[in-house]
Structure 1
């Protein structure tokens, strides 16, 4: 039995390493960068933001991101990371607030990265959650509509799309990039 399992482990590792080798040679299969001026976010809680005039093109493009995606939100406005965290913390303790990522006790104060994440499919849905337009309050996301709008935060979303074979490996990339980019929110262990 032990030998059979060892052989299966070796075979699985070989298949997984082939997928990583493909990414090493070819990179991701797609990339998009998009800026959100949170002060200009409208209330799309009762309508589909994918049909909004201001964001329709973005959502049409990311609908093609059907496989796993590694993404991060970069702070591009002038607020420092401490002020961003404080604004998010104030929202987090409000009664009825939606779930936001963990605020680390220790963080790199020079970091301009708000959050690093991954999704195995339906990337556009995850973006909607981060914007704050998802109906289920327990579903964690940045909830930018609720706290970053009045704060005037501007963020840039960077998203890297991968082939479906990377489904099980995108989590490893998320951990690597979270360690390197040092986001000011989110658990990455």
Structure 2
């Protein structure tokens, strides 16, 4: 059975979706913050959602109950590379099995991008914490999650105090299937070329 035309048609649909996600600013939630302003996690007792001047990060995120795709950008390629360099230095001392081990994204060969990381999150809401799944995922990336085996950027653990302006970009993906969400993530990552993470 020859399904070349059908595959090409499906590929064109996914290509159009990923291009729209990257180029469409109107439907994108953009949340700026500076790493130097992140408070100490105080043995993971701090909930940024409750910290003055940080609740804005979570206000819109907690309203997202559907699947979404997100990425972290810096203002310039040079700033993104400098932050990624700090992450690479952190990797040297961040050894699995050590008490303070934190799982971080894999290295890759991308260069010349102001995007640090691209990810997806299935929709949902955690009633115990009163937070959406995307809120919890961003919390892990910022480094405010006790379980170090849950992979994330862990920004506060290697870049605390550094002056990096970062924007978290979130695009809601309504009515998706996890298989399709993964395909969309890979295509968006090919376009944005994040400096860390495997796609």
- What TM-score range do you get, normalising by the shorter chain? 0.7 to 0.9
Q: Is the 8 A contact 2:142 2:154 kept in 1?
A: yes
Which consecutive unaligned segments of at least 5 residues does structure 2 have?
1-9, 95-99, 124-132
In structure 2, the partner of 1:161 is 172
Structure 1 counterpart of 2:146: 135
- TM-score, structure 2 normalization: 0.74
Asked whether the equivalents of residues 31 and 169 of structure 2 are also in contact (C-alpha less than 8 Å), the reply is yes
Change (3 A) 1:82 1:59: closer
Pairwise CA RMSD of aligned residues?
Answer: 2.9
The SS at the match of 1:66 is coil
Contact kept in structure 2, 1:129 and 1:143, CA below 8 Å: yes
Q: 1:180 to 1:136 in 2, by over 3 A?
A: same
1:82: how far off?
3.8
Equivalent residue runs for 1:1-189 within 5 Å: 30-44=27-41, 45-76=44-75, 79-95=78-94, 96-104=100-108, 106-108=109-111, 110-121=112-123, 122-163=133-174, 165-168=175-178, 169-188=180-199
Tell me by how many angstroms 1:64 deviates: 1.0
What is the match of residue 5 of structure 1? none
Q: How many residues align?
A: 168
Q: Give the Cα separation in 2 of the matches to 1:34 and 1:81.
A: 17
User: Larger C-alpha radius of gyration, 1 or 2?
Assistant: 1
Q: Can you give the 5+ residue segments of structure 1 that lack an aligned partner in the other structure?
A: 1-15
Distance 2:198 2:58 in 1: 27
